[in-house]
Chains A and B, each alone.
Chain A
Amino acid sequence: GAVVSQHPSWVICKSGTSVKIECRSLDFQATTMFWYRQFPKQSLMLMATSNEGSKATYEQGVEKDKFLINHASLTLSTLTVTSAHPEDSSFYICSARFPPPAGNTEAFFGQGTRLTVV
């Protein structure tokens, strides 16, 4: 299957700093990428849908000024956690879909990024 690479796989940062997480589709172009957050022993919660060349669509309750998403190319989307606090510590996972018409039949996931804010 297609490969989605997420970097870094883990990061520790100080409270108040910003952290950028990259999500790349390595062997296909993804017009749409998704960012999820997963708390320990819980399911994945969709944070936002990242659209190449346009603004991301955020889910209700997700602060768009805190979680900045940029989808500048068909193979790269970034999530920046700004002014991170300990409560932002979580596992962040991205996924990408194929372009139409096959795009809605499968999503490929990155390996996730564990963020710890101290």
Chain B
Amino acid sequence: AQSVTQLGSHVSVSEGALVLLRCNYSSSVPPYLFWYVQYPNQGLQLLLKYTTGATLVKGINGFEAEFKKSETSFHLTKPSAHMSDAAEYFCAVSDQGGTASKLTFGTGTRLQVTL
């Protein structure tokens, strides 16, 4: 079984400040890890993903995340927050078992960006 824990249901940062959204996972097999962003009343958009290879993954909109196996973490960061980054962010884990592999989502972190 797999699970995801997102610490902090709500994070508030000032515009221009560092964004750090935490994600820890549990998986009995090598995981695939994802970060998605959701704007109000919309579906999910993929920010970035880790499958294999380089553990530092760069995504869209200046976000990046680092897969740390020893810490079972996949924290999302952005050096400088922008007002448009305000949204709900979901970390998700999947096994590598094929197209029917299920995504297990964390509970989400709402990012607020203030002036």
Contact = CB atoms under 8 A, between A and B. Distances in A.
Given A1-B46, A43-B90, A107 B41 contact: no
A49 B32 contact: no
Contact of B108 (A43, A57, A93, A112): A43
Contacts of A91: 41
A28 to B, nearest CB: 12
A100 B43 contact: no
B103 interface: yes
Given A1-B46, A31-B99, A105 B41 contact: no
Contacts of B110: 41
Interface residues of A, number: 34
Contacts of B105: 43-44
A99 interface: yes
B100 A93 contact: no
A88 to B, nearest CB: 18
Nearest to B100: A32
A91 B68 CA distance: 33
A34 interface: yes
Contacts of B90: 43-44
Interface residues on B, range: 20 to 34
B28 interface: no
Max count, chain A CB within 10 A of own CB: residue among B32, B97, B100: B100
Contacts of B41: 9-10, 91, 112, 114
A104 B99 contact: yes
Contacts of A99: 99
Max count, chain B CB within 10 A of own CB: residue among A41, A95, A104, A110: A104
A103 B90 CA distance: 20
Interface of B: 32, 34, 36, 41-46, 49, 51, 90, 94, 96-108, 110
Interface of A: 1, 4, 6, 9-10, 31-32, 34, 41-44, 46, 49, 51, 57, 91, 93, 95, 97-100, 103-112, 114
27 contacts: A4-B43, A10-B41, A31-B99, A32-B99, A34-B102, A34-B103, A42-B107, A43-B90, A43-B106, A44-B90, A44-B105, A46-B104, A51-B100, A91-B41, A93-B44, A95-B44, A99-B99, A104-B32, A104-B94, A104-B97, A104-B98, A104-B99, A105-B51, A108-B46, A111-B42, A111-B43, A112-B42
